[in-house]
Amino acid sequence: MANVVVIGAQWGDEGKGKITDLLSRSADVVVRYQGGVNAGHTVVVKDQTFKLHLIPSGILYPATQCVIGSGTVIDPKALIAELDKLKTLNVSADNLKISETAHVTMPYHRMIDQAAEERRGTHKIGTTKRGIGPTYADKSERTGLRVIDLMDLKSFRENLEWTIANKNVVLERLYDLPPLDPQAVFDEYAQYAERLRPHVIDSSLAIYQAVQQRKNILFEGAQGTLLDLDHGTYPYVTSSNPVAGGACIGSGVGPTMIDRVIGVAKAYTTRVGEGPFPTELSGEIGQHLCDRGAEFGTTTGRQRRCGWFDAVIGRYAVRINGLDCLAITKLDVLDEVDEIQVCVAYDLNGKECHELPGSAELFGQCKPIYKTLPGWKQSTAECRTLEDLPKQALAYLKFLAELMEVPIAIVSLGASRDQTIIVEDPIHGPKRALLYENGSQSQVA
């Protein structure tokens, strides 16, 4: 039995959906613990592509219970559309459970998010404009509406009338937007309530009972470490805590119930939205990575900014999350590159810096210090073991593991489930590992 947290070790979009899907086959329960419909996890099974936003990636396994935890924010309209889409693909959602204490994204949240981002002008953050930040803001102000409120329509109507009266003042006076009609919003959300009612549970209790029954539990984060509200590149961050510690708060479990943490990182680096990005590539190589890696956001469709692998933020992710193994994705995207660069440190105003600056301004002044490695110039798409990899590709993985000082457990070589090398099963224990001890390179078993 193992309870494992899967987190993004970069700025999100690392391929967590595929990794969570792979690990879900060994899990009894998959818990999504933070974020909202701003997340986008893509899973490819044979000739079908599944794009998930709120629903945990484990939904594709009928025997796996999937839980949307209390740390998430739920847009009922978007969630129901996702359920309907899965139905058209012949995927049952009977195994989906929703926390009764998760907060609900309302129409005014989306309106405020969009208007506020437009008003920022050149200071924009790069929000998805899906209402996530304002929903979390209301949660912190203790004025939010939760799923459990939605289940009691009489109480919901009363709370909604008071809330919308206050939100209309903001919409009209601050953003010059039309007011919302409380009755229209109530009628719409009352329908959502009835549709979602069969899925609503006390999720913390359900997860605790699964722990007591010694079931395998997978905790799935959205976004990535560098987008964490407290530990990311603030203010260019999300509104929740994607880091491993957020799994406990967002799921309602204690830290002693977590056994392992696996970080997912691309073989290069991408970022969506605004903010500093030291290894960003603006020329031909950057466009090549974008095109070959299909680097367009699952949720927004925005083109992702691409750059070389950044070991400084990688080591930061190891420290902040307590990572004990890595999944490296999209190694195949580098198949045609002549030389590969890896950022091993920063030059910050003439001084060598090995740690992530806490200030976005200072981070923006960092220049990457690179180590250059040879490319392998051949396809890795059909490789299924480490021994199948070109020697330069294996050397590249070993170099990353050495820089990050954690073993690589999984290597992904494409979008499909079968395009994967499982070096070590993070749930059922090691078979063989790409390890580094005390900075010295060991042999692959």
Residues belonging to the active site = 13, 41
Task: Determine the straight-line distance between the first and last CA of the chain, rounded to whole angstroms.
Answer: 24
Q: How many CB atoms lie under 10 A from the CB of residue 49? A: 12
- The answer to whether the Cα torsion of 431, 434, 439, 443 is positive or negative is positive
CA angle 320, 323, 324 (to 5 degrees): 155
What distance in Å separates the CA atoms of residue 432 and residue 445, rounded to the nearest whole number?
6
Beta bridge partners of 327: 264, 410
Could you list the beta-strand ranges (E) of 58-115: 65-68, 73-74, 96-99, 103-104
Among 37, 44, 50, smallest CA distance to 91 is for 50
Among 309, 391, 416, smallest CA distance to 21 is for 416
Residue 49 one-letter amino acid: T
What distance in Å separates the CA atoms of residue 341 and residue 237, rounded to the nearest whole number?
26
Could you list the beta-strand ranges (E) of 64-102: 65-68, 73-74, 96-99
CA dist 383 → 337, 377, 435 (Å)? 18, 14, 20
Distance of CA 226 to the CA centre of its chain: 11
- Strands 325-329 and 339-348, bridge-based pairing: unpaired
Rounded to the nearest 5 percent, the helix, strand and coil shares of the chain are 40, 25, 40
Full strand arrangement of the beta sheet holding 29-32: 200-201, 96-99, 65-68, 29-32, 217-220, 3-8, 260-266, 325-329, 408-412, 420-422
Which class for 392: exposed (0-12), middle (13-18), buried (19 or more C-beta within 10 A)?
Answer: middle
For residue 31 the two structure tokens come to 């818990």
- The answer to whether the Cα torsion of 82, 65, 21, 405 is positive or negative is positive
- The DSSP annotation for 106-139 comes to -HHHHHHHHHHHHHHGGG-----SSSHHHHHHHH
For residue 428 the two structure tokens come to 């059922």
